[in-house]
Amino acid sequence: MGGDLGWWLVTLFIALFIAQSTIFAILLSKLRKELRSIKARRAWQSLPIIERPSQTILRVLKELSASNGLEARELSERLGLSREYTARLLKRMVEDGLVVRRGKPYKYQLTELGNKLLKEFKD
């Protein structure tokens, strides 16, 4: 009788192991599908919707394209904008990928995207 009980326990554990493995495989498959879906949504979200930029942004892009990089102070003086407004604008342009800042003090330069945008909307 002891041998029969051992055999049933082994069979039960094997069946439970197979069931557990099947459930994990199904859950893993669903997780991978969801991750692919999230990646696809992010890829679409990262594509910028190109709208006509403001005249101020275009002026900043033009000034930066004509130089080898400008400090925010220089840019605000050239454009007649307040230093605070210029700093906020440049921060947003860095976040949007239009300009990069390098060195100390920061000098702002156009990115490839900034150049493309300037060429696209040049007057």
Same domain, 42 and 60: no
pLDDT at 47 over 70: no
pLDDT tens-place string over residues 85-110: 999 999 999 998 899 999 888 999 99
CB 75 within 8 A of CB 63: yes
- C-alpha to C-alpha distance for 117 and 62, rounded to whole angstroms: 10
Same domain, 63 and 116: yes
Same domain, 42 and 84: no
Q: Which amino acid is at 60?
A: V
What is the span of the domain harbouring residue 27? 1-47
In the chain, how many domains are there?
A: 2
CB 46 within 8 A of CB 80: no
- C-alpha to C-alpha distance for 3 and 7, rounded to whole angstroms: 6
Q: Which amino acid is at 62?
A: K
pTM exceeds 0.85, yes or no: no
Residue 83, SS3? Answer: helix
